[in-house]
Amino acid sequence: MSKEKYDFYERVFDVVRLVPHGRVTTYGAIAKFLGASKSSRLVGWAMNRSHGLIPTVPAHRVVNRVGLLSGKAHFSNPTEMQRLLESEGIQVKDDQIINFYDVFWDPALMDL
DNA sequence: TGAATGACTCGAT
DNA sequence: GATCGAGCCATTC
């Protein structure tokens, strides 16, 4: 519970909040962007704690490397994640993003 | 303090 | 090409 320095979680939240509307990213991409490509699991941990944060963290825009809504079960309602994605124009079928390659957004490629 | 956990990823079979 | 197993690292019990 360190508070002085930027927590690993906060950095993750920061990146997730940078994800453009209608786009998604992966845990690995975030981890890699933070310089901890091998800590992709920590990104998942961070998301688990993202509930109730202000400002809200668009955790629904974060999926695993194959575009699967691996974390939808952790939402208030399992259907919430898919519903949010679809509302942003992202096609989801069987808990998986269809046009994943098209909507994928890599924080490392963000336009500075 | 040590062991277990996790919304992942990659490499090998 | 699909499936299985090990690695990785911070947080939690």
Q: What is the pLDDT of residues A47-102, one digit of tens each?
A: 999 998 889 999 999 999 999 999 999 999 999 999 999 999 999 998 999 999 99
pLDDT classification of A2: cutoffs 50, 70, 90: very low
Q: How far is CA A19 from CA A12, A26, A33, A97, A99, in A?
A: 11, 10, 13, 16, 17
CB A100 within 8 A of CB A66: yes
Does the predicted TM-score (pTM) go above 0.75?
yes
Nearest protein residue to B7's C1' (by CA)?
Answer: A71
Instruction: Tell me the sheet residues that pair with A63.
Output: A26
- Going by C-alpha positions, the residue among A52, A43, A45 that lies closest to residue A76 is A52
Range of the domain at A90: 8-104
Nearest protein residue to B5's C1' (by CA)?
Answer: A45
CATH number at residue A92: 1.10.10.10
Domain annotation covers residue A110: no
* Omega prior to A55 cis, within 30 of 0: yes
Instruction: Count how many domains chain A has.
Output: 1
